[in-house]
C-alpha cells in the first residue's frame, strides 16, 4: 500500500529517447499526489553508484513534457555490470531510504534492474524496481510499443522528405542510414512512410541484386529518375551500399547518415501520452507492493509484467509490413510486379 512507500527514485538510462521527460514528469507528479517523495537519480545506474541525485517535486518537472532528451541525463555504466558496483548502488539506496526505483530505458536498463533486484533480494532487503520501456528502436520484446519510436520516425521522415526534394531536382539516388543496430522497425516504418525504393533491415538477409539493384531498375523502367534507399545501421553501411550501387549500375548516390538527430526533438503526441500513462502506472505498481515489474503496452493497453518473464520474451518481427513495402514499391508501368 502507499503508506508503505515513502520515497522512490527515478532514473533514465542507456540511449535517450523523446518522451523520457514526460515519463519522469508522470512518475514524479503521481508519486507526489500520493504523498510519496521522489528522488531523481542523475546519469542512470552510474548516478546510483556515485550518489548523484536531486530531489524532485511537481514544480521541478513543470514544462518538461514537451522537451526532448532527459533532464536527469543518461549514461552507460560498466561499473554497474559488476557485483561490486551494484553493491555501491545498493548502499546509495540505503542512504536515501528508497522503497522503490522506476528505471526508464531499454533492454540494458532492465537487465541492470533485474541484476540489482536479485542482489538486493540476496541481502534480505526490500526494494522494488519497475521498468518503463523507452527506446527509439522499439525493440523491447515484452512491449508492443516503446517511448520515443513515433518521434524518431517523424524526425526521419521529415529529413528524408527534404532530401527527396533535392534528389528529385538533380535526378539522383539517395542512400539514407537510420538507427537500428539490431532491429529494423524504424527503417521499415520510415521506408513505407516515405515510399522508399528499397529498405534494408537486419531481420532480412540482404540480396543486393534483388533488393536494391533490381528495385532501382524497375523504378527507372517505370519512369522514375530519383531513388530512395533506406538502410538500418545494423543491416548495412550506407556508404557500402552507395559504393555497390555505383559499381553495379553506374549511378553516383548521395549518402546521408541521420545519426543522433533521430534521438532529439520535441516528443510527438503519441510519445507524450504513452509516457504519461506508463509513468502513472509505474507508481501505481509500486504502491501495490509489487516489485521487479516492467510496464508495457499490449494490444493498446498499459500492463505490468514480471521482469524475469518479460525479459525472456521474444518479439516476432512483423514481416507483413515488408510485404506491404514490396507491393507498393515494385509495381511498374507494365502492370506486373516481382
DSSP structural state of residue 14: S
Beta-carbon contacts of residue 227 (< 8 Å; ≥ 6 apart): 167, 173, 174, 197, 198, 215, 216, 219, 220, 251
Distance in angstroms (rounded) separating the CA atoms of residues 284 and 287: 5
- Catalytic residue from among 16, 137, 150, 271: 137
Burial class (CB in 10 A: 0-12, 13-18, 19+), 330: middle
Looking up cell 540482404 gives 206
137 included as an active-site residue: yes
Closest residue by Cα to residue 60 from 49, 72, 51, 68:
72
Q: 27, 23, 180: which is closest to 100 by C-alpha? A: 27
| Cα dihedral across residues 41, 45, 47, 50: positive or negative | positive
User: Is there a contact between 139 and 302 (Cβ–Cβ < 8 Å)?
Assistant: no
E strand intervals along the chain: 7-12, 37-41, 53-56, 100-105, 128-133, 173-178, 198-200, 227-232, 254-257, 293-298, 301-306
CB count in 10 Å sphere of residue 57 = 13
Pairing of the two strands 254-257 and 7-12: unpaired
Q: Look at the block and give the residue holding cell 515488408.
A: 322
Residue entry with cell 528522488: 39
Other beta carbons less than 10 A from residue 248's beta carbon: 13
Catalytic residues: 137
Amino acid at each position: 500500500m502507499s503508506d508503505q512507500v515513502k520515497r522512490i527514485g527515478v532514473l533514465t538510462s542507456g540511449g535517450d529517447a523523446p518522451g523520457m521527460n514526460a515519463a519522469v514528469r508522470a512518475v514524479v507528479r503521481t508519486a507526489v499526489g500520493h504523498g510519496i517523495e521522489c528522488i531523481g537519480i542523475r546519469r542512470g545506474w552510474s548516478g546510483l553508484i556515485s550518489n548523484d541525485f536531486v530531489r524532485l517535486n511537481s514544480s521541478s518537472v513543470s514544462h518538461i513534457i514537451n522537451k526532448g532528451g532527459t533532464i536527469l541525463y543518461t549514461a552507460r555504466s560498466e561499473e554497474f555490470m559488476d557485483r561490486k558496483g551494484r553493491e555501491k548502488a545498493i548502499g546509495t539506496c540505503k542512504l536515501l531510504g528508497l522503497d522503490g526505483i522506476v528505471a526508464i530505458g531499454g533492454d540494458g536498463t532492465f537487465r541492470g534492474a533485474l541484476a540489482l533486484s536479485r542482489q538486493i533480494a540476496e541481502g534480505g532487503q526490500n526494494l522494488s524496481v519497475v521498468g518503463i520501456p523507452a527506446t527509439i528502436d522499439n525493440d523491447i520484446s515484452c512491449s508492443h510499443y516503446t517511448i520515443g519510436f513515433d518521434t524518431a520516425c517523424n524526425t526521419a521522415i521529415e529529413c528524408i522528405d527534404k532530401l527527396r526534394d533535392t534528389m528529385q531536382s538533380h535526378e539522383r539516388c539517395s542512400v539514407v542510414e537510420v538507427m537500428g543496430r539490431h532491429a529494423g522497425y524504424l527503417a521499415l516504418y520510415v521506408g513505407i512512410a516515405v515510399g522508399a525504393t528499397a529498405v534494408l533491415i537486419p531481420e532480412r538477409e540482404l540480396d543486393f541484386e534483388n533488393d536494391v539493384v533490381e528495385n532501382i531498375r524497375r523504378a527507372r523502367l517505370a519512369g522514375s529518375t530519383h531513388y530512395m534507399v533506406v538502410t538500418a545501421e545494423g543491416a548495412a553501411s550506407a556508404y557500402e551500399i552507395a559504393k555497390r550501387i555505383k559499381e553495379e549500375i553506374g549511378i553516383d548516390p548521395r549518402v546521408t547518415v541521420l545519426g543522433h538527430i533521430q534521438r532529439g526533438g520535441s516528443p510527438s503526441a503519441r510519445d507524450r501520452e504513452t509516457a504519461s500513462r506508463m509513468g502513472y502506472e509505474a507508481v501505481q505498481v509500486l504502491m501495490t507492493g509489487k516489485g521487479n515489474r516492467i510496464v508495457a503496452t499490449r494490444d493498446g493497453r498499459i500492463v505490468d509484467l514480471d521482469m524475469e518473464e518479460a525479459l525472456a520474451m521474444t518479439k516476432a518481427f512483423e514481416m507483413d509490413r515488408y510485404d506491404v513495402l514490396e507491393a507498393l514499391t515494385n509495381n511498374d508501368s507494365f502492370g506486373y510486379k516481382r
